[in-house]
Structure 1
Amino acid sequence: MTADTAVLPTLLTALRLPSIARNWKRIAEIADRDDWPAARLLATLLEIEVADRTSRRIQRHRDQSGLPAGKTFATFDFNVATGVRKNHLLALGTGDGWIETGDNLLIFGESGTGKSHAVAAIGDALIDAGRRVLFTRTTDMVQRLQSARRDLALAATLDKLDKYDLIILDDLSYVRKDQAETSVLFELISHRYERHSIAITANQPFSAWGDVFPDPAMTVASIDRLVHHATIIEMNGESYRKRVAVARVKGKDSASDN
């Protein structure tokens, strides 16, 4: 090893280029063998570094997203999801035409019809597309914001949440206005209005949202902001969990008959 190559590991570590540090010897041998020009060698090494850095960033964002494991498009049963079109959901997963403009996504349907899976799959695809996503139960977000308000840090917390291109509030209908200060949910909606996207799943229509917000005026204002720039999807049909349970029972019955 020459003096120049001996110092390379130290330089690459100092410059925080771990992928080049792992691969430069192998790529340099190929370049020497095939008589690459210097520009091609440099471009190849930098492409490896950029690709690995992108992969690490995506994995870090996925780990920080709170998305439920396994809820992706690959595991979503489009054949039994009533009210959705596969191409439409896949298009939402690219983020094109709605994330950059701060549009919202509202998914309604009975419990067990696949709302959470669908919105989680969209979030997972958005992370692959380079977006930041946060998935949380709405009740957990309300508690987080309530705590921030008590600590006089609500504004700072809302600003920190701006790093997410999309916040997914799962099961909005489980929030009840008898919880202290549920108005913080309105604060979040207003803060992100026309700036950053929100996705909401709910098993109750808008007419029942009066049970969520403290007063009718806040309910109307929240709905108005959410639907102004929004895609609304209604998922109907039989509960997926019920279908699985019925199939499991039928399988046991068939096994016992044999």
Structure 2
Amino acid sequence: MTRGKTPSPAASLHEQTVRQHCRALKMPTVAGQFETLAQAAIREGHGHVQYLDALLTAEIEERERKGVVRRIQEAHLPRVKTLAEFDFRQSSVSAARLADLAAGGYIERAEPVVLIGEAGTGKTHLALGLCVAACQQRRRVRFTSASALINELVEARAASQLSRVLGRWERVDLICIDEVGYVPLMEMGAELMFQIIADRAEKAALIVTTNLPFSEWGQVFPNPRLCGAVLDRVTDQAHIIETGGESYRFKRSMAKRGAVS
């Protein structure tokens, strides 16, 4: 397209052809931006190679953005929370330690992460932040509460689909099991959760959030032998992070009330 001139019929035909090629090649960003970037290249005196570089970069960046959005959706996060949104000033958790985890090395090394603390201390927010970071690194992630996971596995077993469902979980790079300890597990549920955890040991990463210290996990897994086996796999090479015993959400709420009054 020539600056300052009305597009000729031939130019319009070429533009239509470019759009058709982009549809065939599934390059919607190129189709949407090739004219605008061409005009910018003319204004700034860029050559053909620079123009092509800018055009393909725009396509790649948009695909990456959409890929992250898709992976976050597939992760079934209850809400999208990032580590940047977490107020580390209200927590005893080290921001540097979480940033190091967010880099993803623990996923490559198949190491568990265990977040332990009372309700309102940020366990789930931190877990979600790590899940989002993993999605941004092209990892397959799945988030679930302990109760939802058990329900899914029990239903799959009743429908003779357990192997298929376990296989689907096994293909995920990072699983986050939230709220372990809030509800005691029946024997079948405990065994099924152990199977998920055992299948990932030393092979794939796992995040667990819990309100119980390890000494009280017998309340969740009433079979002592099974409880010991679960703890062995969850804590082996694990990053254990204590989020504290005082709710920072409660402190934040009280601070807001004080500011208003």
Q: TM-score range by the shorter chain?
A: 0.7 to 0.9
What is the CA deviation profile of residues 162-202 of structure 1, one whole-angstrom value per residue up to 9, with x for unaligned ones?
34321111110023233643311001001111121110011
More displaced 10-residue stretch of structure 1: 177-186 or 214-223: 177-186
What is the CA deviation profile of residues 19-62 of structure 1, one whole-angstrom value per residue up to 9, with x for unaligned ones?
01101122233445666554433332221111100000101112
Is 1:85 matched up with 2:94? Answer: yes
Aligned pairs, number: 251
Residue segments in structure 2 that go unaligned for 5+ positions in a row: 1-8
Report the Cα distance in structure 1 between the residues aligned to 2:259 and 2:58, rounded to whole angstroms.
50
Report the Cα distance in structure 2 between the residues aligned to 1:59 and 1:229, rounded to whole angstroms.
31
Report the Cα distance in structure 1 between the residues aligned to 2:143 and 2:204, rounded to whole angstroms.
14
Report the Cα distance in structure 2 between the residues aligned to 1:201 and 1:56, rounded to whole angstroms.
29
Equivalent residues in 2 for 1:20-31 (5 A)? 20-31=30-41
CA contact (8 A) 1:107 1:233 kept: yes
Aligned equivalent of 2:69: 59
Residues 1:143 and 1:179: Cα distance change in structure 2 (over 3 Å): farther
Residues 1:14 and 1:72: Cα distance change in structure 2 (over 3 Å): same
Look up the equivalent residue of 2:176 and give its one-letter code: I
CA contact (8 A) 2:214 2:231 kept: yes
More displaced 10-residue stretch of structure 1: 235-244 or 54-63: 235-244
Report the Cα distance in structure 2 between the residues aligned to 1:246 and 1:26, rounded to whole angstroms.
51
What is the CA deviation profile of residues 101-157 of structure 1, one whole-angstrom value per residue up to 9, with x for unaligned ones?
211100111222111111112222222233232222111111111111222222221
Hey, which bits of structure 1, 4+ residues long, moved more than 6 A?
Answer: none
CA contact (8 A) 1:81 1:237 kept: no
CA contact (8 A) 1:113 1:237 kept: yes
Report the Cα distance in structure 1 between the residues aligned to 2:151 and 2:97, rounded to whole angstroms.
33
CA contact (8 A) 2:187 2:223 kept: no
Aligned equivalent of 2:211: 203
Is 1:222 matched up with 2:223? Answer: no
Report the Cα distance in structure 2 between the residues aligned to 1:39 and 1:214, rounded to whole angstroms.
66
Report the Cα distance in structure 2 between the residues aligned to 1:98 and 1:244, rounded to whole angstroms.
31
Is 1:145 matched up with 2:147? Answer: no
Instruction: Normalising by structure 2, report the TM-score.
Output: 0.86
Identity %: 32
Residues 1:249 and 1:23: Cα distance change in structure 2 (over 3 Å): closer
Residues 1:212 and 1:32: Cα distance change in structure 2 (over 3 Å): same
